């Protein structure tokens, strides 16, 4: 059985995230094209309820591929921090190391991923 190398995967995720954020900035004409950065901007001028609503709106608006990937990577990094990385978010089964090394942001085991894509 292949050992899951969390350190290597976290590095891979962090680097992938930086690349995606750079792509987003380029796509958006040099603006900081990131929901969090925009939310930070709004946080300086609005109260926290408005900030949360704004962040949600931005998440809905920024639905392009890169943004979704960044969100998936953020979620994966959060799972690493929480110690639940490598567990399928749907059924709790261990995601195979082979799958995680190929797609470190994967949140579901192959079976649940297939089911989610059909749904």
Contacts to Zn ion by CB under 5 A: 88, 90-91, 93, 109, 112
Q: Which two tokens stand for residue 25?
A: 């900035």
Distance of CA 15 to the CA centre of its chain: 13
Say which residue the tokens 């059909």 belong to.
Answer: 118
- CB of 13 or CB of 109, closer to Zn ion: 109
* CB of residue 103 to Zn ion, shortest distance in Å: 14
Query: Given the complex with Zn ion, which of 61 and 115 has the nearer CB atom?
Result: 115
For the CB of residue 82, give the shortest distance to Zn ion in the complex, in Å. 17
Rounded CA gap, 59 and 90, in Å? 22
Nearest approach, Cβ of residue 80 and Zn ion (Å): 18
- Host H or E run for residue 17: helix 6-27
Shortest distance in whole angstroms from residue 31 CB to Zn ion: 38
Nearer of residues 37 and 112 to Zn ion, judged by Cβ = 112
Unique residue bearing structure tokens 């946080």: 43
- Measured from the CB atom, the residue of 43 and 93 that comes closer to Zn ion is 93
Q: Which residues of 47-58 are buried (b: 16+ CB within 10 A; e: fewer)?
A: eeeebeebbeeb
């Amino acid at each position: 059985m292949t050992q899951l190398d969390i350190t290597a995967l976290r590095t891979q995720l962090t680097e992938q995230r930086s690349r995606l954020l750079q792509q987003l900035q380029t796509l958006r004409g040099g603006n900081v094209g990131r929901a969090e950065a925009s939310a930070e901007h709004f946080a300086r001028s609005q109260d926290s309820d408005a900030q949360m609503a704004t962040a949600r709106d931005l998440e809905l608006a920024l639905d392009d591929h890169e943004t979704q990937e960044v969100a998936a990577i953020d979620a994966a990094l959060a799972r690493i921090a929480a110690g639940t990385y490598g567990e399928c978010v749907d059924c709790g089964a261990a995601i195979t190391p082979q799958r995680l090394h190929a797609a470190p942001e994967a949140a579901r085991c192959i079976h649940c991923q297939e089911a989610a894509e059909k749904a």
